[in-house]
Chains A and B, each alone.
Chain A
Amino acid sequence: MDRVPILKIGQTLFVSIQIDLQDESVMLLQEDLADELSASGARGVIIDITAVEIVDSFIGRMLTMIGSISRLFDAETVIVGMRPAVAITLTELGLSLSGVRTALNAEKGLEILNGKT
């Protein structure tokens, strides 16, 4: 089973998705993230989807759910590195990822979390 690693950098958790997401790996990621958030007390989560080329409504919902989970731990979620084609697909699907913030790249995502916007 592919597991998505969660890296803790300071007060931020960094998740870079580089595999084709299956239902099980998504469930695992949500569990791992919740565990990590509760254990570390991190204030922000950055999800990097630069490598994700194909999205469907399932992945869209997953991203929103991760946002909701993080908010319960008082952490803000920033999704970074979305490809234009992915953004167009999500819009066509009518998903606007409410509840999560977005940034062009990881650097800008960190700036948002550190309140420098």
Chain B
Amino acid sequence: MDAGGSRERMADYLRDHHDKVAGRWTELVVSGMRGRTSVEEVRRELGDLFTLIVRVLSEADEHAAGELQAALDELSRSRAREGFTPSETALAVFSLKEAVYELVGDSAELVAEFLAFSRLIDELGLRTFEAYSAAREQIISDQMTTMMELSTPVVQLWDGIIAVPLVGTLDSARTQLVMEKLLDTLVATGADHAVIDITGVATVDTEVAQHLLKTVSAARLLGAECTISGIRPQVAQTIVSLGIEFGDIATKANLADALALALRQAGLKVVPA
């Protein structure tokens, strides 16, 4: 028996039983979704997919396969964004097999057709899974980029004084970014005093301290003096109990104190107007 023939016969069969199969398919998928998507939306999505699958099976035109893949990719991507699990996403495709099997299960003469159809659905299921994980990875890398951009502003406090408010966790990658940005800003603005504010840094361990020290010594090589500000009481206790030495680097409780120190070192004085 030729595979091409069975696929075509299956396409005819599906076309004949369109309403029944599509209806049952929608039912199965909706019950798996537990009400997170509207029935109408699922019916529309699956209706499009069903038409495409029939077109692929009947091998009527060469664009059908590409269109089906694009539609599946789109479906997986939106499912990934909406927070569905991978199996829930793949189930949307595999349910069609069940819907068709319920219909043809009794008729022995359609076995070859069903096998050909089943092979196609398996392929499509795998495809969904791949698209799903690709979409997830894309989301994660987008978020990483956003986080990196968000978390490293360098602000100018005064002529010749800049500040870097650090928020979150300091790891090597972020320290590198902060360091580069700080040094570039020092060169660009000609500032000779930098304040690194760690109010928003949750924990300071030996690694974070090491990163801070590196940043300060790099800034010193450029000829700029650094002050570390925003040391909270718990952080101070941790630093001392870990035996971290900041050496001759000035540390201050808050940004205001650090600014006052920087102004004093720059030979400036703030007087009441």
Contacts and interface: CB of A to CB of B under 8 A. Distances in A.
Interface string A76-101: 00111011101110111000110001
B187 A102 contact: no
A102 B222 contact: yes
A105 B219 CA distance: 13
A83 B221 CA distance: 9
B218 A87 contact: yes
Given A105-B190, A108-B192, A88 B218 contact: yes
Q: Which of A83, A87, A90, A105 has the most chain B CB atoms closer than 10 A to its own CB?
A: A87
Nearest to A101: B223
Determine which residue in B180, B214, B218 has the highest number of CB atoms from chain A within 10 A of its CB, and name it. Answer: B218
A92 B33 CA distance: 53
A92 B172 CA distance: 12
B224 A88 contact: no
B180 A84 contact: yes
Contacts of A82: 221-223
Contacts of A102: 220-223
The listed residue with most A CB atoms (<10 A of its CB), out of B191, B192, B214, B222, is B222
Contacts of A104: 186-187, 190-192, 222-224
Given A103-B223, A104-B223, A104-B224, A87 B190 contact: no
A108 B223 contact: yes
A81 B179 CA distance: 17
Interface in B204-220: 214, 217-220
Interface residues on B, range: 10 to 19
A84 B180 CA distance: 7
B220 A96 contact: yes
Contacts of B224: 104
Contacts of A78: 223
B221 A97 contact: yes
Interface in B164-194: 176, 179-180, 183-184, 186-187, 190-192
Interface string B234-256: 00000000000000000000000
A25 B224 CA distance: 29
Interface in A35-61: none
Contacts of A83: 187
A90 B220 CA distance: 11
A88 B183 contact: yes
B184 A84 contact: yes
Q: Which 5 A-B pairs have the closest CB atoms?
A: A84-B183, A103-B223, A102-B223, A87-B221, A87-B218
Interface of B: 176, 179-180, 183-184, 186-187, 190-192, 214, 217-224
24 contacts: A79-B221, A82-B222, A83-B187, A84-B180, A84-B222, A87-B218, A87-B219, A87-B222, A88-B179, A88-B218, A90-B218, A91-B214, A91-B218, A96-B221, A101-B223, A102-B222, A102-B223, A104-B190, A104-B192, A104-B222, A104-B223, A105-B190, A108-B190, A108-B192
Given A88-B183, A91-B214, A104-B224, 5 more contacts: A88-B176, A96-B220, A97-B221, A101-B223, A105-B190
